[in-house]
Structures are given as structure tokens and as C-alpha cells.
Structure 1
């Protein structure tokens, strides 16, 4: 491939691994250290000590709010949870059409509809304040849309959001129709905070690529949701829990793991493309799980210990540790979330990070337009007659 000239392509690693494509002030992942941060703060420390609204404010405005600003921001976002009547009226049809695929597939359609109903315009046609307003509206609407689609899929009526509940507690309330247990609401909130952002993962990069075209905010988020739905990205929490179900009992752990690892099967919940040490999110979620205790937690801890030992034996030098999905599934199961809502709940958190990235990308007028290496038949052949 030519490597000279003004517009000559540049060879990069497959999958763009390690390639820096832009600058960001939103956060970073330091994989060899097992550390990630939102702006200048440890993401894990934020999850331990702050509310979801605080972190949302941090991502959008660059600062952690004081008590007065937190109250104002919480009230502002709570008022945006309510859906327009035309969107609410369309949700039963969306839920029926996506019954087999589930709420995350329905969210792609519902969020696109909500953006259109709200009059979202291309990012490059509106000022930063309107972009921020659209982003807040989208982030606030996603939990409402997800909860409504889930309940409709179960043959239940949607539950209207409550303005007096914090973000995470309101999400659980809309899913169940009942006031959530404070411990479970806080556990889900800590999970949501821990997954708001995580560097230039596939869905975040997708959102920024779409934003670079100047498309409207809903289009950016719908693309990101599509990327998140893949089992190698956000689609793994329920699959990691399915692994525990497949193993079944403690006496089967070693045999099951060895059989599947030797067969070349992927063990969901283990390994990460960035971390070469333990995923810090898994440490946080493991601690949350242990605070609940019980047979499921004890079993998950034992599977983790044996899986890491067997992976180190059979795949030496690979540094395969548990990732966020392993104990995320355990925590969400303990908090009463149905498995089909695990990845949608991930989306309910990550939408704040996606939106912050979209707002940042919208300030750059350069479209993201990489190149590809052509490897097909040699070009220039004459076109044969019909």
C-alpha cells in the first residue's frame, strides 16, 4: 500500500487497537493499571460516594455539583422523564413488533421516535445549549422507554415516572410498579455510575462517528445502542449468568471450565480488550454482591477463582481476569432485574456517557472518515456484455 503523498493511507492495528483518534476531556481507561476515571475523578470512587445525578452533571458540565446545584439538576432531569403523548401511544406497537428481540431493540425505534417528536435537529444546525437540552431529554427518556417496553412485553401497563425519586430508584419503580428497597436501589445506582463511560469502546466510538456527520442526537444514540447490543460488547451480563447456570453445582466447576476452555469456547465475563489486570468495575460489583451474600454470590466467587486459575494454566500469559459483566449479572439478579433487562440497564447508564461524547464531538467540524485496504480482484477489468 502506498505510504507517501498528502492523502496516503496509514497502516494501523486491526480493530484500531490503541490508535488515538481524537482528544477528550471526559475520561480515560488505563488498562495496565486497572484504573479508569471520569474527568479528573476515579470512576469507582464516584460510584462509592456520589449519586447518578452528580456524575451525570460532571459528564455534561465538567464539575461535581454542590447540594444546591444537585437539587436543581435533579429536578430539571426528573421533569424530562415524562414522554410525549404521541410517543406513549406508539409504544404498544413497538413492543409487539420487537417482542422476540426484546426491549433494547425496541429502544432503537422508540428513541428515534422520541427524538423526532421532540424536534431534534442536526447537531451542526443548533447551538450548544440546544444540543445540551436534547441530550438531557434523551438521557432522561431512556429509562422510561425501557421500563415501558419491558412491561408492555409482559402484558402489563407502563408505570409513569415519579419526579420525587432519584434516577436509579425511579427506574426500578417503573419496572416493578413498587417502591424499591433502598439497598437494592443504591446497588443499581452504583452499577449505573460505574458504567456511564469507559473510554473509546465500540458504542462510544459509533456515537462519535455519527456525531461527526452532524446528525441529530437521537441518531447518534440509536447507532450506539446498536453497537452495545452485540454480545462482545454490552450483551454479555446475562450470558455470564447463564454460564453459572450451565455449571450448576460446585463439583462441576473445574470440569465444565476445562472442557469449554480446551474447546476454544469464549467464557463470558472473562477477559477484556483493554485491561491486563482485574477490571476495577468487577471489584466494585463483587463488593456489592458480597454485601447481599447468599448461595449465588458464594458460587460466583468460587467460579471466578477457579476460572482465573484454570485460564492462567491453559492460556499462560493471556492475563484473563473477570470483567464488568461477570458480577454485573449477579448484582442485577440480586436486585430483581429480569435477565432480558441486563443489557438495557447498561444502556440506561451508558446513554449519559454517549451523550457527553456526542456533545464533545459536536464541537469538532471534522468528519471521521478512515480508509480501508482493498483486497478484492484486481480492478480495471472490462465490464462483460450482458
Structure 2
């Protein structure tokens, strides 16, 4: 790898160690055929297809098939894949028996915290093997099983946490409709199911984000699929990654009414506070996911949507005035929260819902990383006291 000079790029030190920018920003660490984000263009893709166009034209299961197999299915393959994955939705008895205790233990932190443990237990109960010891077919089968059961685990944990009985999955319903059914116990209206499906498709993958990188690091050690996914869930749970959709709605609630938008936003911006739902570390133009979700929200219409659109307009105008030269637009969390609220999802399930889709992208990355036998093992620059410092003798009475 060639070193570069300043400007935050890579630089080689005298001992051969490459100094990278904080957070590995802009550092290419591997090659992938899964997808990419082109931030300057406001575009991202799964394999060779626009992710937004896939969300507009295809089903969740078709895009799942694409992520796993590298090509979109024909009609026969699509029907068979739907049948295959729907049959994997039930929770094994060994896991089902501990879910009430797990839901109680994670009641304060929510279903995403419970999912970390539930996925680990699921992998153990199903006999998942280290990816280092398995072939591609076995790995694919294990990722399909883990992805199919994840929505069932999440909705069961949510309902148990509210002293409600879990709702068993239905094999006759598509992925998104079944998710809403397990969450509420009522078969959803087609418009709501399709809106959630489009949101789920749009969040399956998004470049080399923190949780995807985490999944690949764990995979590089040869660990089993459940361990890789549990680690990715842990990374996603952080508010700087997957935990923001409900916070964006909190912003709308805090503003309260259209006449308060300007003063509320100016006060926060001048105080240096972050406006949740705005700005993205990669996109330098409008987030294409936000654009698509705004269109979905506007199809539903209503005062909440009109208020959100007005907040977006005024926030962008104020940010352009107070922070000239910085293009700050809504990110996926802003309208994701609006759409999920319109479709009846409780706020505590926003990030878990995100996870129920992103598990597909993680799995595709796990499968790809498992083909590379090189462990991911970066270095750190030690900056503590100069060693060796003599160890003092213990003080004796």
C-alpha cells in the first residue's frame, strides 16, 4: 500500500506501520461485490442494481435472494425462495423457553439487546459451526435460518416485554406483512405492508458501515454466523448508527408546531447541537433513501407528514444560512420514523425493524468475508507513558 502525505490520508511511519485517519474514514480495507455508496452522487446500489429502484419494483424476498446469490430470481426461483425462507421463521423450542426471561432482563434496553443473546442461543441450538470449518452451502443455509428467525425473535421479545403472548409467524404472508402481523396480531393493510417492505429493502445494506465492518471482522476470525450477527447487532444498537429514527420523531415532537420551527432550530444550531435526522457522513447531497421515504409518506398524507416536510424545508434553509458551504439534508432516519409511525410501529421497535432488514446485508458480507482466510488485524499506536517503568514494590504494613 502506498503512503500519502498530509490531508488525513495514509502515511507510513519509520517502523513500517501505516497511520490511518481516525475512524478509518476513506480507507479501503477490502474488495466487495455486494454493493457501494456513492455519496457525492446521492446513489447506492446492491450488486449492480440501484437500491431505491429495487425497493420500488421488487419484493423483499427477491432482493434477499439477490444479496445471497448475486442475481435476481426468475419467477420459479422467487416462489421457491419465499417458500424456503418462510418455513424457517419459527423459533426452536430450546430458544422459545428462555425468551420470557430474556425479555424481562432486557425490558429497559429493548428487543435489540435481547436479540444479541437470542441470536447466540439460536446458533448454539441449531448447531452452527465456525465458518472456518464449513463450506459455502452450509454457510448460506445458516444465514438464511438466522435471517428468517430474526423478525420472529424481535417481535416475540417486544410482545413478551409488554406482557403479551407472542404471535406465531405465518408462512403464507410475505416477509414485511408477516413482520407487522407478528408485531400487532392483526394482518396489516396492503398499503402499510408495502410501505414497510420498501423501507426494509432500502436498509438491507449501505456500504461498509460500522455494523457491517464489525460482522466482517468477526467473520475473519472464523467464528460462527450467529456470533458474527450478534456482534453486528451490538454495533447497530449505538445511537450514532442505527438508533436515530425514533430520535428524529422526538425532534418533531419537541418542535411541536410550525410557528416554533425557526426559533427551535436556530437555538440548537447556534448551540452546536446536532439536529437528529439531518446530515450523513457519506452523502454530500440528498440521501436517496430519505427521498424515497418522503415520497411514501406523502402518499399517505396528513398533518404529521405536512409538518415533517415543513420542518425539513426550514431546517435545510436555516442550516444553509448558519453553516454556509455545508450541504446538510435529511438522512434515512428522518422520514423512516415518519413512515414507520404511520404504519403503526411503536418507536421502541424502529431500530429493531432496521435490524430485521440489515441482517440480510450482514449475512451477504459474512458469506463474502468467509471466502477470505486472512484475519482482520490492524494495529494501534501506543501513546501512554514511556515504558518500561519499574514496578514499585508492594507497600507492606
TM-based fold match above 0.5: yes
2:162 counterpart (154, 162, 169): 154
Give the CA deviation at 1:39: 0.4
Report the equivalent of 1:255: 263
Report the equivalent of 1:75: 83
Which runs of structure 2 are paired with 1:119-198 in the superposition (5 Å)?
Answer: 119-198=127-206
User: What CA distance in whole angstroms lies between the structure 2 residues aligned with 1:364 and 1:335?
Assistant: 41
Give the CA deviation at 1:314: 1.1
Computed over aligned residues only, the root mean square deviation of the Cα atoms, in angstroms, reads 0.9
State yes or no: 1:287 paired with 2:295. Answer: yes
Report the equivalent of 1:56: 64
User: What CA distance in whole angstroms lies between the structure 1 residues aligned with 2:255 and 2:154?
Assistant: 31
Give the CA deviation at 1:4: 4.1
User: What CA distance in whole angstroms lies between the structure 2 residues aligned with 1:317 and 1:130?
Assistant: 50
Report the equivalent of 1:352: 360
Report the equivalent of 1:3: 13
User: What CA distance in whole angstroms lies between the structure 1 residues aligned with 2:96 and 2:391?
Assistant: 53
Report the equivalent of 1:200: 208
1:20 counterpart (28, 39, 42): 28
Report the equivalent of 1:311: 319
1:94 counterpart (87, 94, 102): 102
User: What CA distance in whole angstroms lies between the structure 2 residues aligned with 1:264 and 1:3?
Assistant: 36
User: What CA distance in whole angstroms lies between the structure 2 residues aligned with 1:379 and 1:277?
Assistant: 48
State yes or no: 1:274 paired with 2:277. Answer: no
What TM-score do you get using the length of structure 2 for normalisation? 0.96
Give the CA deviation at 1:3: 2.1
User: What CA distance in whole angstroms lies between the structure 1 residues aligned with 2:316 and 2:383?
Assistant: 39
CA contact (8 A) 2:12 2:19 kept: no
2:116 counterpart (95, 108, 119): 108
Report the equivalent of 1:340: 348
State yes or no: 1:367 paired with 2:375. Answer: yes
The more displaced of 113-122 and 312-321 is 312-321
Report the equivalent of 2:234: 226
SS in 1 for 2:37: strand
For residues 189-220 of structure 1, the C-alpha deviation after alignment (integer angstroms, 9 at most, x for no partner) is: 00000000000000000000000000110111
Structure 1 portions without partners, runs of 5+: none
Report the equivalent of 2:6: none
User: What CA distance in whole angstroms lies between the structure 1 residues aligned with 2:175 and 2:168?
Assistant: 13
User: What CA distance in whole angstroms lies between the structure 2 residues aligned with 1:62 and 1:109?
Assistant: 30
User: What CA distance in whole angstroms lies between the structure 2 residues aligned with 1:239 and 1:179?
Assistant: 28
SS in 1 for 2:160: helix
Give the CA deviation at 1:2: 6.7
User: What CA distance in whole angstroms lies between the structure 2 residues aligned with 1:266 and 1:345?
Assistant: 24
2:50 counterpart (42, 48, 53): 42
Which aligned segments of 4 or more residues in structure 1 are displaced greater than 4 angstroms?
A: none
For residues 100-135 of structure 1, the C-alpha deviation after alignment (integer angstroms, 9 at most, x for no partner) is: 111111111111111110011111011111100100
Closer, same or farther: CA 132–2 of 1 in aligned 2, 3 Å: closer
1:236 counterpart (214, 233, 244): 244
User: What CA distance in whole angstroms lies between the structure 1 residues aligned with 2:204 and 2:142?
Assistant: 18
For residues 220-245 of structure 1, the C-alpha deviation after alignment (integer angstroms, 9 at most, x for no partner) is: 11111111011111000000000000
Give the CA deviation at 1:67: 0.8
Give the CA deviation at 1:348: 0.2
For residues 5-33 of structure 1, the C-alpha deviation after alignment (integer angstroms, 9 at most, x for no partner) is: 5xx21111111011000000000000000
For residues 350-385 of structure 1, the C-alpha deviation after alignment (integer angstroms, 9 at most, x for no partner) is: 000000000000000000011111111111222221
SS in 2 for 1:326: helix
Give the CA deviation at 1:247: 0.2
User: What CA distance in whole angstroms lies between the structure 2 residues aligned with 1:333 and 1:344?
Assistant: 14
